[in-house]
A and B are shown apart, each in its own frame.
Chain A
Amino acid sequence: MSHWVIAPLLLPLFTGLVLLLGARLGGRTGLRVQRAIALAATAALLPLTILLLVRADGGGYQVYALGNWAAPFGIVLVLDRLSALLLVLTAALALPALLYALRGSDTAGRHFHALFQFQLLGLNGAFLTGDLFNLFVFFEVLLIASYALLLHGQGPARSRTGLHYVVLNLIGSSLFLFAVGTLYGLTGTLNMAELAVRVAHAAAAEAPLLHAAALLLLVVFALKAALLPLYFWLPRAYAAACTPVAALFAIMTKVGVYAILRIYTLIFGAQAGLLADVALPWLWPLGLATLVLGAIGALAATELRGLIAYLLVVSVGTLLAAIALGGPALLGAALYYLLHTTLVTGGLFLLAGNIRRQRGAHGDQLLAVAPPLRQPALLGVLFFSAAMAVAGMPPLSGFVGKLALLAAATPGAGLSGAQTAWFWGAVLGSGLLGLIALSRAGSRLFWRTGDAPAVAGRADRLRVTAAVLLLGTSPLLSLFAAPVTAYTQAAARQLADPSGYITAVLGHDGRSAYALAARETRP
């Protein structure tokens, strides 16, 4: 049992604790010490997670039993290709967001850096855990940190959206506990691998209750992922958050997508007997509708940050519609698209911060006529390339991602003609709407300016660098599309066959008599 698996949890946990103490130092020295520690820890997370990715790519599952209590009695962390991929993605997004925050955003409140680390702890934990209740706990860790980060810097707009966000997520947590309680009451376990075995062997009398629990979980994850009836909180919350926090939150919706992907392939997947694929009939129409409504929202947005938040909603709709269609090839393409969209959206949020600083009192209002930007060429080129990447124009990663998605969603790949038509129509149509929205925003920001001289100073180097780092991943993803796609396809194949996961965690594939015998002996 290798101890590296738990390192992405321990590093932010201890860094966060040290930073809580460091905040007591106060003054300029205190701030400098905090920044150095936070930067070192976040930068160290990247090579660490890449190391785990290389290990996961070796093929096997890495199972870490906490306290050496064997599954299903103890809590396990499970590292596979999918979780390793998301760990790397989190670290790659967090570092530029933190770099941006070092230029002053972190001084608006006392514990920014500690909260940032706890947020990373919650994210990494949610991606690694193999226990359903533990997933709830890590969701709470990341939510509590995100409540405070969303409110960081205060102000009326943040208080209002923060209240909505907190109350909605608290209701979500209650529903999560109801679902977890029901599953435990019926199956007597919370270990995901053991749950998969028990659900697959569920008696017909228990199936309706299990079905209810599965759909209750879907509601919770859909709230996190911002699926159709539950996305209305997202655009306002993300538009009100301070820039580095909004960039980091680009991964938050992907936690919901990850949870849906994990739970509905492993526990309620194709092999789950009476409960096979319970979520798919809901995911498919809701995903498509999210995609379309997100694109319309992007077209109607009057603020740059609101526009980016709606583009995030579009990406979630695309991902969930692709997940609902299923099939390893489509799933692999969806994972590549997930990488692209998270990094580029994060980069767009950082770029919007840079643009806002040069537009005087008008901020990122798209309808206002602001003084011209100080550096229109630099910011304009960055905005143009980011817009190309998001809209899916060649040669950037959005093009590769969407092309792979569309190529995998054909009647030849086992889909019906209607499904193909809807998916192609929605993805291409929303791409066009996104392109129109972005080009309109770009022309307003860079060309429709007043005659007055530029009011703002030059952009800060570090802030621009942070945005460039994130946006620069798009050509890199496009350049190294072959190895990245090979990896995501392997991850998708691993997901599609959960017996490997179950064997790795439990030591047997659940088909033996042991699993059924153990079930009878419950009091």
Chain B
Amino acid sequence: MELLFAITIGLLTACGTYLLLRAHTFPVVLGLTLLSYAVNLFLFAMGRLTTGRPPVIGQADTYTDPLPQALVLTAIVIGFAMTAFVVILALRARGELGSDHVDGRGGVPRSVERSRGEDRP
């Protein structure tokens, strides 16, 4: 089980890293998602992989560590919200820069409006 788990995390991380290095926003968002899956599995495994044991002391002879599960929950919530945010941001950048390249390369800016709240006379 440990070996399979480790290979899964490694594969997810490798794919995530590869996608992050692509210069377009869609692969980058997918790469971030894969990387956050890898992180969540990794955190979960840090409580050691056990099956059929309760995360409560005194219910059975041994117990499984509940803390990594709580950490994973927090990480999932934050990661999910951030993915939603970065998707919206990528869409906005696509609209404003006219290109889905992360540097806005090769695009014709659709909107020429300046930033609001600027320090202009």
Contact = CB atoms under 8 A, between A and B. Distances in A.
Contacts of B65: 523
Given A163-B25, A163-B90, A163-B102, A153 B118 contact: yes
Given A163-B89, A166-B85, A155 B75 contact: no
Given A155-B114, A167-B28, A185 B119 contact: no
A357 B64 CA distance: 62
Contacts of B103: 160
A140 B78 contact: yes
A153 B117 contact: yes
B96 A177 contact: no
Interface string B56-71: 0000001111011001
Interface string B88-121: 0110110011000011100001010111111111
A184 B68 contact: yes
Contact of B32 (A151, A154, A170, A523): A170
Judged by DSSP, the binding face of A is helix
Contacts of B115: 108, 153-155, 157-158, 240, 242
A177 B86 contact: no
A152 B117 contact: yes
Contacts of A361: 120
Given A164-B102, A177-B75, A243-B119, A159 B85 contact: no
Nearest to A353: B119
Contacts of B121: 357-358, 360, 455-457
Interface residues of B, number: 48
A73 to B, nearest CB: 10
Q: Is the interface of B mostly helix, strand, loop or mixed?
A: helix
A503 interface: no
Nearest to B75: A177
B30 to A, nearest CB: 12
Contact of A160 (B32, B62, B97, B113): B97
Contacts of A363: 119-120
Interface string B3-36: 0000000000000000010000100100010011
A154 B113 CA distance: 9
Given A155-B113, A159-B96, A159-B97, A178 B42 contact: yes
A171 interface: yes
Contacts of A457: 121
16 contacts: A104-B117, A107-B117, A155-B115, A159-B96, A159-B97, A163-B102, A167-B102, A173-B82, A174-B36, A178-B42, A181-B68, A184-B71, A185-B45, A185-B46, A357-B121, A455-B121
Interface of B: 20, 25, 28, 32, 35-36, 38-39, 42-43, 45-48, 62-65, 67-68, 71, 74-75, 78, 81-82, 85-86, 89-90, 92-93, 96-97, 102-104, 109, 111, 113-121
